[in-house]
C-alpha cells in the first residue's frame, strides 16, 4: 500500500528538501508524487533541460524509503513556449485565443506543443531509466478538465480526418447527421465546422467523442515513451473531478493505461458541483464510491490509484468543512473500492500563486497538527488492511451501464432540458449500494456475463450490439432494469423510426405510444398497483401499452393517468423492468428491492442509515465486509451471513455497532 503526497520542492533548496523528507517520514509516508505542472523548472528555456535536481530529489527520497510517483509537467506550458508560439493556446468557440495565465490552455493538437511535450517526457524517461525509485508514472494532469475544447485550424483538420475515417463518404455523414434540413450538407470533409453546444446534435456528439480521443492519444504517446524506457513501471493518468468528469471517456483511457488513477475530492468536486448547484450540499458516501467505481470500471478487475486525495479545504467555494476523521474514512473507502495507493494533495501549502489557499498535510510553518496526525494514522491502518485483505477487490453481481457518448448526447439539453444523466445514474447506484450490494459501472460493450442485475439508466444511444447483449443477459436469466430515455437514438443521435429501438421495446414487452419531457418545476403522481402507494415522478414520461409485461405502477395524474409507468416482463427466463419516468428515491428503492429479489442478489450485511457504506470485497485472502460509518452517531449493522472480526478472527453476532465516524473490517465465514 502506497501512502504519499504531492511534493513541489524548490529545486535549489537542499536543506529544505532534507527537512521535508524527515517530515514525510514522521507523517508515515512511503511515496511522493512529483513532476506535474513544473515544466519550466525542468526546461527553463526551449531545449535546455535541468533535471538533475529532480534526479537528486528522487534519489534522496529513495534512500529515505520514499518511492516516487513521477508525473510529466505538460499540463502547464512554460511562458517561453507561449511567447514562441502564441497559437499553441486554445482558440475558444467564440474565436478568441485564451491568454496565458491559467493551465490546461494549450491545444493538444498543436504540433509545436506536442513535439515539446513528447521531448520533455523523453528526457524524464531517460533521466530515470535506471531508477528503482520510480513506482509509477502519470502523464500530464487532469486531461479534459477546465474548458478543454479548442477550435483552432489544427483541430478543424484533425476532426475532419477523423470523420473521414469514421464515415468514408460525406453522403453517409450528411445522412447520419440529418444535414439536409437547415441546409447544412457538406460537400467534402474539409467543409466540416467544429460544432458548439446547440449546433447539430450529431456533429456535437462526434466532436466531443473526437476530443476525448485526442486526449487519450496524447496520453498514449507519452505512455509509449515511458514504456520503452521503464517497461516495468505502470503508466497512468489522473482523472479529474472525482470521476465526474465526463468529457474524457474513462473506458478508452483505460485501454491506454496500465492502471487507472483518480483525483478524489469528495467535498471539493462532486456530482453537485457538476451541475452548478449553489445550495446546501449533503454528502453521500455513495456519491464518492460511485466516482471510484466509475474509474475502476476503466480497467475492470484491477486496483487503481488515488493520485490526489483531499486533505482539507480546496481552492473553490467551500460548501462543507472537512471534519476530523473524514479523510481517514475516505482513505479506507478508497482501499475498499480497490485503491492500492493514495497521494494526498499537497504535502506542503503553496506560499503564493494559484493554489495558495489549498490546505496541505502540513501548514506553512511545517508544524505537525491534526491533519498530519490523521495521515500518519491512515498510513498505518491502510497498510494493516491490505495485509489482511491482500488484493481483495469489491464483489459486484450488479452493474450499471454507462456510455460516455450518452452523456454527450444529453449535453445540449434537447431531449429534456432539466435532465442530468449523472444525477440519474447516481440515484440508481445509490439505491443498490444502500442495500449493501456491490455495483460496478461498466461500458455497455464490456462483458456482462458476470452480472445478475443490470441497470440501464437513460442509455439514450444504443446499437444492435447493446441490444443483443441485453437480450443474451435476459436469456441467461439476468434481471435488467431499463429506465426511460434508453434506446431513443443510434450512436449518431439518429432516430430508429419508432420512438425506441424495437428490440428494446420487445425485450421489455411494451409498445411505446408517446413521450413527454417536462421541466423540473413540475412533477407527476405515480401509484403502485400492489398497495396503492403514491409517489412522484417527472422530467420524462413514456406512455406505453403492455404487450408481454405486467404493470407494477401507473401514472396517477395528467391525461395519461392510469397508463403504466413501471412494467415487468418475466420468464425470459430473466426479468426485464421498464421504468418510464424519472422516479423519486423512494420509488427507485422499491424497484431495486424487487429487482434484487428477481436476480437473487443479496448483501452479506445491511444497514438502514444513508451515511453508512457496506462494501464486500473478495480476494485470495478470503471475503470481507468493510463497514464505514460516515455519520456522527454510532450505527448498527445486521449480518445475514456468519462473520468474524477481521483482525482477531473472533466470530461476531448478527448485529454489530460501528462507532461514529469510524469503520470496521469483517471476514465472512463460510
Residues 3-22 that bind its own copies (CB under 8 A): 8, 10
Counting residues that bind its own copies (by CB under 8 A) gives 103
Rg of the Cα trace of the chain?
26
Q: Which is nearer to its own copies, 6 or 628 (CB)?
A: 6
Q: Which residues contact 186 (CB under 8 A, 6 or more apart)?
A: 170, 173, 174, 179, 192
| Beta-strand pair 2-6/31-34 | parallel
Site for its own copies in 68-127 (CB under 8 A): 73, 76-80, 83, 93-97, 99-103
Give which of 546, 406, 398 is closest to 481, Cα–Cα: 398
- Closest distance between its own copies and the C-beta of residue 129, in Å? 24
Q: Which is nearer to its own copies, 369 or 657 (CB)?
A: 369
- Closest distance between its own copies and the C-beta of residue 43, in Å? 9
Q: Does residue number 41 form part of the binding site for its own copies (CB under 8 A)?
A: yes
Q: How far is CA 357 from CA 315, 354, 368, 427, 588, in A?
A: 6, 8, 18, 33, 41
Among 253, 378, 518, 658, binds its own copies (CB under 8 A): 518
Contact 20, 364 (CB under 8 A): no
Q: Which is nearer to its own copies, 166 or 185 (CB)?
A: 185
Contact 21, 64 (CB under 8 A): yes
Among 13, 52, 171, 191, binds its own copies (CB under 8 A): 191
Q: Does residue number 180 form part of the binding site for its own copies (CB under 8 A)?
A: yes
d(CA 423, CA 420): 5
User: How many residues belong to the chain?
Assistant: 670
Contact 155, 215 (CB under 8 A): no
Q: Which is nearer to its own copies, 14 or 313 (CB)?
A: 313
What's the distance, CA 192 to chain centroid? Answer: 31
Among 514, 586, 593, 634, binds its own copies (CB under 8 A): 514
d(CA 593, CA 434): 11
- Closest distance between its own copies and the C-beta of residue 565, in Å? 14
Cell numbers placing 453 = 442485475
Per-residue binding letters, 131-170, with its own copies (x by CB under 8 A): ----------------------------------------
Alpha helices in 187-325 (DSSP H): 201-229, 250-255, 271-274, 285-296
- Closest distance between its own copies and the C-beta of residue 222, in Å? 16
Q: Does residue number 468 form part of the binding site for its own copies (CB under 8 A)?
A: no
Q: Does residue number 354 form part of the binding site for its own copies (CB under 8 A)?
A: yes
Give the end-to-end CA distance of the chain in Å, rounded to a whole number: 28
Q: Which is nearer to its own copies, 34 or 215 (CB)?
A: 34
d(CA 627, CA 50): 48
Q: Which is nearer to its own copies, 106 or 422 (CB)?
A: 106
- Closest distance between its own copies and the C-beta of residue 574, in Å? 27
Give which of 149, 152, 158, 210 is closest to 189, Cα–Cα: 158
Q: Does residue number 318 form part of the binding site for its own copies (CB under 8 A)?
A: yes
- Closest distance between its own copies and the C-beta of residue 6, in Å? 10
Stretch that binds its own copies, among 235-243, 321-329, 431-439, 616-624 (CB under 8 A): 321-329
Among 47, 130, 301, 351, binds its own copies (CB under 8 A): 351
Q: Does residue number 53 form part of the binding site for its own copies (CB under 8 A)?
A: no
Q: Does residue number 59 form part of the binding site for its own copies (CB under 8 A)?
A: no
d(CA 22, CA 60): 11
Per-residue binding letters, 267-306, with its own copies (x by CB under 8 A): -----------xxx--------------------------
- Closest distance between its own copies and the C-beta of residue 284, in Å? 17
Neighbours of 658 (CB within 10 A): 20
Per-residue binding letters, 545-574, with its own copies (x by CB under 8 A): -------------xx---------------
Per-residue binding letters, 363-402, with its own copies (x by CB under 8 A): xxxx--xx--------------------------------
Among 87, 418, 523, 662, binds its own copies (CB under 8 A): 418
Stretch that binds its own copies, among 108-116, 345-353, 383-391, 662-670 (CB under 8 A): 345-353
Site for its own copies in 202-261 (CB under 8 A): 202-203
Helix 326-337 to helix 370-389 angle, to the nearest 10 degrees? 20
Give burial (CB, 10 Å; 0-12/13-18/19+) of 655: exposed
Neighbours of 453 (CB within 10 A): 25
Q: Which is nearer to its own copies, 44 or 597 (CB)?
A: 44
| Beta-strand pair 643-645/651-652 | antiparallel
d(CA 57, CA 585): 52
Site for its own copies in 478-497 (CB under 8 A): 489, 492-497
Amino acid at each position: 500500500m502506497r501512502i504519499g503526497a504531492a511534493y513541489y520542492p524548490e529545486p535549489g533548496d537542499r536543506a529544505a528538501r532534507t527537512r521535508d523528507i524527515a517530515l514525510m517520514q514522521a507523517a508515515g509516508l512511503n511515496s511522493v508524487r512529483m513532476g506535474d505542472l513544473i515544466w519550466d523548472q525542468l526546461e527553463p528555456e526551449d531545449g535546455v533541460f535541468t533535471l538533475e535536481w529532480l534526479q537528486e530529489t528522487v534519489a534522496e527520497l529513495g534512500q529515505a524509503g520514499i518511492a516516487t510517483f513521477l508525473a510529466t509537467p505538460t499540463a502547464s506550458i512554460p511562458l517561453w513556449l507561449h511567447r514562441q508560439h502564441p497559437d499553441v493556446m486554445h482558440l475558444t468557440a467564440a474565436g478568441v485565443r485564451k491568454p496565458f495565465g491559467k493551465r490546461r490552455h494549450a491545444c493538444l493538437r498543436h504540433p509545436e506543443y506536442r513535439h515539446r511535450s513528447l521531448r520533455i517526457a523523453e528526457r524524464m524517461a531517460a533521466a530515470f531509466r535506471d531508477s528503482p525509485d520510480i513506482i509509477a508514472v502519470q502523464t500530464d494532469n487532469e486531461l479534459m478538465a477546465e474548458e478543454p475544447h479548442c477550435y483552432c485550424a489544427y483541430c478543424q483538420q484533425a476532426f475532419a480526418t477523423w470523420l473521414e475515417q469514421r464515415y468514408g463518404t460525406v453522403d453517409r455523414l450528411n445522412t447520419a447527421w440529418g444535414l439536409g434540413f437547415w441546409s447544412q450538407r457538406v460537400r467534402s470533409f474539409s467543409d466540416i465546422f467544429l460544432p458548439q453546444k446547440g449546433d447539430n446534435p450529431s456533429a456535437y456528439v462526434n466532436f466531443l467523442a473526437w476530443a476525448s480521443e485526442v486526449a487519450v492519444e496524447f496520453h498514449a504517446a507519452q505512455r509509449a515513451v515511458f514504456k520503452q524506457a521503464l517497461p516495468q513501471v505502470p503508466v497512468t493518468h489522473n482523472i479529474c473531478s472525482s470521476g465526474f468528469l465526463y468529457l474524457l471517456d474513462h473506458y478508452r483511457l483505460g485501454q491506454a493505461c496500465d492502471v487507472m488513477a483518480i483525483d478524489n475530492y469528495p467535498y471539493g468536486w462532486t456530482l453537485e458541483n457538476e451541475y452548478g448547484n449553489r445550495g446546501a450540499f449533503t454528502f453521500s458516501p455513495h456519491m464518492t464510491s460511485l466516482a471510484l467505481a466509475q474509474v475502476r470500471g476503466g480497467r475492470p478487475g484491477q486496483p487503481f490509484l488515488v493520485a490526489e486525495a483531499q486533505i482539507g479545504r480546496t481552492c473553490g467555494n467551500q460548501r462543507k468543512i472537512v471534519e476530523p476523521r473524514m479523510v481517514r474514512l475516505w482513505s479506507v473507502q478508497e482501499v475498499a473500492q480497490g485503491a492500492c495507493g493514495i497521494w494526498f494533495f499537497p504535502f506542503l501549502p503553496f506560499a503564493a500563486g494559484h493554489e495558495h489557499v489549498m490546505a496541505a498535510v502540513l501548514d506553512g510553518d511545517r508544524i505537525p497538527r491534526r491533519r498530519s496526525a490523521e495521515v500518519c494514522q491512515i498510513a498505518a491502518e491502510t497498510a494493516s488492511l491490505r495485509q489482511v485483505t491482500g488484493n481483495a477487490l469489491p464483489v459486484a453481481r450488479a452493474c450499471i451501464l454507462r456510455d460516455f457518448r450518452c452523456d454527450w448526447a444529453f449535453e445540449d439539453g434537447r431531449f429534456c432540458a432539466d435532465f442530468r444523466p449523472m444525477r440519474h445514474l447516481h440515484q440508481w447506484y445509490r439505491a443498490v449500494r444502500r442495500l449493501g450490494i456491490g455495483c460496478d459501472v461498466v461500458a455497455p460493450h464490456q462483458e456482462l456475463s458476470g452480472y445478475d442485475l443490470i441497470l440501464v439508466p437513460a442509455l439514450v444511444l444504443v446499437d444492435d450490439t447493446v441490444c443483443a447483449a441485453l437480450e443474451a443477459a435476459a436469456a441467461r436469466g439476468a434481471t435488467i432494469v431499463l429506465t426511460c430515455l434508453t434506446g431513443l437514438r443510434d450512436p449518431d443521435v439518429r432516430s430508429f423510426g419508432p420512438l425506441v429501438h424495437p428490440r428494446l421495446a420487445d425485450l421489455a414487452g411494451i409498445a411505446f405510444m408517446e413521450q413527454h419531457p417536462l421541466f423540473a418545476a413540475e412533477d407527476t403522481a405515480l401509484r403502485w398497483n400492489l398497495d396503492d402507494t403514491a409517489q412522484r415522478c417527472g422530467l420524462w414520461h413514456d406512455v406505453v401499452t403492455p404487450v408481454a409485461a405486467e404493470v407494477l405502477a401507473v401514472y396517477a395524474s395528467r391525461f395519461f393517468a392510469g397508463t403504466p409507468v413501471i412494467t415487468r416482463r418475466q420468464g425470459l427466463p430473466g426479468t426485464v423492468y421498464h421504468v418510464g419516468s424519472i422516479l423519486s428515491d423512494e420509488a427507485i428503492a422499491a424497484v431495486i428491492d424487487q429487482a434484487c429479489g428477481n436476480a437473487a442478489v443479496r448483501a452479506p450485511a445491511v444497514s438502514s442509515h444513508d451515511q453508512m457504506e457496506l462494501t464486500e470485497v473478495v480476494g485470495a485472502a478470503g471475503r470481507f465486509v468493510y463497514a464505514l460509518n460516515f455519520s456522527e452517531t454510532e450505527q448498527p449493522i445486521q449480518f445475514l451471513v456468519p462473520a468474524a472480526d477481521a483482525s482477531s478472527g473472533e466470530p461476531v453476532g448478527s448485529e454489530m455497532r460501528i462507532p461514529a465516524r469510524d469503520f470496521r473490517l469483517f471476514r465472512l465465514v463460510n
